[in-house]
Structures are given as structure tokens and as C-alpha cells.
Amino acid sequence: MTKTNTPFDPKSLKFLTAVSSAEYSKPTLKMGALIASVFDASHGVVYVGERASEFHGSSVNLTRQNLDNWNIIHPGLEVLEWALQELKALSPDNEELAKIQFNPDHVYEEDGRVRVILPDDKGCRIELVLREGELVDQLRKEIQLEGYDLAIIGGSQNKRHLAHSILQYLPASVFVLQKFNPQKKYKLLLLVDDSSATSKSIEWGAMIAEKLGWPVRTLTVSKTKRFGAGYQGAADKAKAYFDSRGIEVEQFFLTGDPVRTFVEFAGDNHFVIMGASTLNPVKQFLFGSKPIQTLKQTDVPIVIVR
């Protein structure tokens, strides 16, 4: 079940945050919780651990069954337990959330996916899931299974390597949270062009700017000195949309190499939103795309809207 190209309905949004450890994933989880809360979206948290070679699958399974007898929980569940505690701490006023208790024995395991059952989850709309295997493959499966709209991923050392796979194969919008400082006042930078994904990214940008109170800038980059009707029209449409919602917007029109211009303009104080590429998948695979190159080269938080 994938939700692509569906009408923008904030009430039915589902966000998925990928966490790796208590040590490294705190900012990611915090931002995931914040974004899910401002959009009133249901929030899934997934931990993707390494999968043991199938060759020794019997031995690993046998050991894990035995660890259960010793009340030693499945590796990775402790990260989800931490995630739940963290979510509670982030929303101290949420009484429903406070009631939810983590019990490592209450899990449902199927096809290598372990879902923590939260019996007291009344209306909190939280999912805790453990998966094992290759990161992009597992995130893709989780998104397809639950129909998530946005995947929130921390920026990592492997970003350059993963950027291609994340943007090309995850069937949802992607928020890569790199060098995110919750204390910092960001400017929201919306990259506008004539692609079909721009209109949805305008809607996302407006929602985020409205809820977080960030100033908005739109940037349109042309390779030549002439801005065609498509580019001009998209920029005007964006401005009109923000105006209609009472959000102040600054418009910028620059010429040059699009990716380099985006990256230079974004600097380190913008929160970038751009539409996913509509290029043919094979061309994207072979030559990359603007979002892929931008993600690889910039160090600011970036949302690629699909």
C-alpha cells in the first residue's frame, strides 16, 4: 500500500522515523516527533538492525529463543524502548502517551519484522517496529506495508552512498535530517521549478512554515539568463499559495548550475524543501538527479517531497 500522488490530507498522514541508537538518533527522533505532531500525523519508529547470514540462521534463532528464556530481549528492542521513553519525554502533557508501557514480551513477529504491541495505545497512533536487513530495503518494505507518507532519516557517514537509493527507491517523501540543531532558527528554503512535484512541495513547505513559524524563501534557478514561462509560473504559483495562507515569502531568481546554486544558497541556515525528480528511473540511476545531487552535497536538513 503506497500513498503517492494522493491529495494532500494532513489528517491521514503517516510518518516513519528510522532510528539506530539512543546515542545517535536523539535529534532525528525529536524532529520526527515534532513534525508528526505539527502535522497531526501518526508516527512509526523503526529500528533496522543487521541481519545475520542465513547460513547460520538456525544458530542465531536458537540463541534468541534461549535468550528469551533468560529474559534477555531481542537486540534492537532496547532502542525502541528508549524511543518510546523519549517520545513520552518530548510530550509530557500527553496523558494517553504516558500510559503506554513497553513490554518486550508483547511483540508480534512475522517475516523478520517485529512489531511491539502497545495495548494501551488509545489514539496515540504510535508504531514501534524492528526490522533486520539492508536499510533501504527494510525501510521500503515498511513504507509499502504501512503506507507511510514521509520517511525521516538521520544524516550519517554513509549519506553519499545511500542518497541514491534513499531517493530513488523509497516510495514516500524523504526527510534527511543532517546537522539539525533544534535550537537554531532556520529559514525554510523552497526550491521551485516547473516539475510536477513542486506543487506538493509548496503545500508541505506552507504547512511546516506555518506550524514552526519559520520565514520562507523560494529559490528558482535557471541554467540560462532567461527564465521560461514554466519557471516563472511555478514561482508565481508558490508566492500566491503562501500569500493565500498569510505566510510572508521572499522570492529569489538566480542563474547557474542548479545544484551548485541550491547548495551555495542553502549555506548552513536553511531547511530545504524540494520536489522529487520526475526523471525516468534509469536516467536517475545512471546520471543522478537534482535532488540526489543536492542531498549528496548539502549539509542542511532537506525534505524531498514525492
Partner 1 sequence: MHISADMLFWIQQKRWLLIALAVGAILYFLVPHPQSLGQDGYHILIIILMTLILILKEPIPLPAIALQLIFWQVIIGGSTPNEVGSYFMNDAVFFIMGSLMLAVAIVSQGLDKRLALGIIRLTGNKTWRIVAGFTTISAILSSFVGPHMVTAMMLPVALTLIRYTSSKGQSNTGLIAALLFSIAYGATVGSIGTPTGGGRNVIMMNYWAEFGSGSLSYLEWMKLVYPMVLIEIPITIIIILKTFPPELRVLDTAIRHLTVEVAHAGKMSVKEIFSLALFTAVLYGWIAQSEVYGLGSIALMGIFLFLTFGLVSWKDLSRGVNWGVILLFGATISIGVQMKNTGGAAWLAEGSVSFLQNLIPNIDTLRAVVSVALSGILSNLLSSSATVAVLGPMVLNLGGDPILLGLASVISSAFGYFTVVAAPACTIIYSSGLVKAPDFLRAGWKMAIMSVTSLALIGLVWWPLVK
- Give yes or no for residue 61 binding partner 1 (CB under 8 A): yes
Among 14, 30, 140, 270, binds partner 1 (CB under 8 A): 140
Does 137 engage in binding with partner 1 (CB under 8 A)? yes
Residue 169 sits in the site that holds partner 1 (CB under 8 A)? yes
Contacting range for partner 1; rule: CB under 8 A; set: 64-72, 89-97, 214-222, 296-304: 64-72
Nearer to partner 1, 109 or 264 (CB): 109
Q: CA-CA distance, 295 to 198, in Å (whole number)?
A: 17
Q: How far is the CB of 289 from partner 1 (least distance, A)?
A: 12
Cβ–Cβ < 8 Å for 303, 166: no
Cβ atoms of residues 12 and 125 within 8 Å: no
Whole-angstrom Cα distance, residue 303 to residue 288? 17
141 part of the interface to partner 1, by CB under 8 A: no
229 near partner 1, rule: CB under 8 A: no
Q: How far apart are CA 72 and CA 67, in angstroms?
A: 5
Select from 67, 89, 145, 240 the one that contacts partner 1 (CB under 8 A).
67
The correct pick among 1, 70, 224, 225 for binding partner 1 (CB under 8 A) is 70
What is the grid cell recorded at 275?
A: 520536489
- Work out how close the CB of 18 gets to partner 1 at its nearest, in angstroms, rounded to a whole number: 16
Alpha carbon distance 128, 192 (integer Å): 35
Of 54, 95, 105, 110, the one binding partner 1 (CB under 8 A) is: 54
Contact status, residue 219 vs residue 265, Cβ threshold 8 Å: yes
Q: Which stretch binds partner 1 (CB under 8 A): 56-64, 112-120, 205-213, 258-266?
A: 56-64
Written as one string, the DSSP assignment of 178-230 is: -S--TTS-PEEEEE--SSTHHHHHHHHHHHHHHHHT--EEEEEEESSS---HH
| Per-residue contact string for residues 10-49; x = within reach of partner 1 by CB under 8 A | ---------------------------------------x
> Of 32, 44, 76, 275, which one interacts with partner 1 (CB under 8 A)?
76
State the Cα–Cα distance between residues 63 and 295, nearest whole angstrom: 40
Q: Rule CB under 8 A: say whether 278 interacts with partner 1.
A: no
Minimal distance in Å, beta carbon 69 to partner 1? 6
Angle at 263 between CA 261 and CA 269, to 5 degrees: 125
Within 13 Å of residue 52, how many CA atoms lie on the same side as its CB?
A: 11
Binding residues (CB under 8 A) for partner 1: these are 49-50, 52-67, 69-70, 72, 75-76, 137, 140, 165, 168-169, 171, 280-282, 285
